[in-house]
Structure 1
């Protein structure tokens, strides 16, 4: 059993990871701005603001694994990268492994190709800043952290999100920074993404690298 802290643990991906980790018997603490209407049994919920370093420190200290599941929207649109830098610094100081739920736009269509994020011409303009900000975490920020920080950036297949929830199939495919396209053309479900995500944490085979999960 490990002690998981999930920062952003009540959103679409975060709540699925919390559910999967708790079901496997891990000790889970979920930090979020608001408490869930239907809390998961045996999960400790902490209501707080991820932009507050003291709050982050209180939930990262004593953990074995920190999972960051935040989005550069709303109140986090501006401070998003600073918040992630703070999470990384605190995790490094505490010797906590860091797993980040990333976006698919930072993946590559083929080995050595430019990342999808380099061409956002087909993306609505109002979404581009958020995509660029999210991708900068894996392109710039995480690689610049001290070598002592053990991090993994886990992207889902393209199309992942609450708008396309999908069904739990009980399986997934794992790739590196080259996008693994879903075999059925649909997005991986939150439940199967969480299945793969917690497997990655438990197996501990990846370090300071980007991977992606797909059906």
Structure 2
């Protein structure tokens, strides 16, 4: 079993990943500013600023999963925080999985990414900063870092938790849609997909999308 550090482990995405990984018997360390509402037995919760806690925790990791959002205290900081997590992961020899946003995907092969088009004002800052974290990995990640940038489907998040389907699809940087033109995935199915990628690595230094 692996030692998995989940950065943002008490948030929506991180919390689901922590639960799924712990349920499979992995040693899970959650980094967050806040206590979990329902702590899980066997999970180690490290509280504090990610910049301080990660320096202590990441050196012992086999895998690091970054699940922060560019909101509240992270606005304007996310690229630098993730660059440091990538550096620490490379030094530790840990695999690095970074969860981004749907807007970093493309609607079709060779087409501009969604973030390069018309983004509603209320989502603009988050979409742009999330995309900047993807560009950071592509352009600046340590050469020996085994990284994956993971975009969830368009309808994903605490606002649309969805029902557990027990299946998912993995694509490249082109968004996945169903026959009705919908792009969605539940929080639990997304977590299963992420932990499956940890248990059976299938991508390296790549951008992937996950949808039902």
Instruction: Place the TM-score, normalised by the shorter chain, in its bin.
Output: over 0.9
SS state at 1:66 partner: strand
Distance in 1 (alpha carbons) for counterparts of 2:183 and 2:96:
28
User: Is the 1:105–1:131 Cα contact (8 Å) retained in structure 2?
Assistant: yes
Deviation at 1:61, TM superposition (A): 1.1
SS state at 2:103 partner: coil
User: Is the 1:182–1:188 Cα contact (8 Å) retained in structure 2?
Assistant: no
Deviation at 1:182, TM superposition (A): 4.0
Residue number in structure 2 paired with 1:39 = 39
State the number of aligned residues.
Answer: 210
Deviation at 1:120, TM superposition (A): 2.5
Residue number in structure 2 paired with 1:15 = 15
SS state at 1:37 partner: coil
Query: Do residues 141 (structure 1) and 136 (structure 2) align?
Result: yes
User: Is the 2:78–2:133 Cα contact (8 Å) retained in structure 1?
Assistant: no
TM-score using structure 1 length: 0.94
TM-score using structure 2 length: 0.95
Residue number in structure 2 paired with 1:58 = 56
Distance in 2 (alpha carbons) for counterparts of 1:194 and 1:201:
11
SS state at 1:207 partner: coil
Residue number in structure 2 paired with 1:179 = 175
Distance in 1 (alpha carbons) for counterparts of 2:57 and 2:178:
35
Deviation at 1:187, TM superposition (A): 2.0
Distance in 2 (alpha carbons) for counterparts of 1:85 and 1:15:
22
Distance in 1 (alpha carbons) for counterparts of 2:168 and 2:196:
11
User: Is the 2:176–2:183 Cα contact (8 Å) retained in structure 1?
Assistant: no
Alpha-carbon distance change, 165 to 183 in structure 1, aligned in 2, over 3 angstroms:
farther
Residue number in structure 1 paired with 2:102 = 104
Deviation at 1:105, TM superposition (A): 0.2
Alpha-carbon distance change, 200 to 36 in structure 1, aligned in 2, over 3 angstroms:
same
User: Is the 2:170–2:209 Cα contact (8 Å) retained in structure 1?
Assistant: yes
Distance in 1 (alpha carbons) for counterparts of 2:76 and 2:151:
22
Distance in 1 (alpha carbons) for counterparts of 2:192 and 2:102:
18
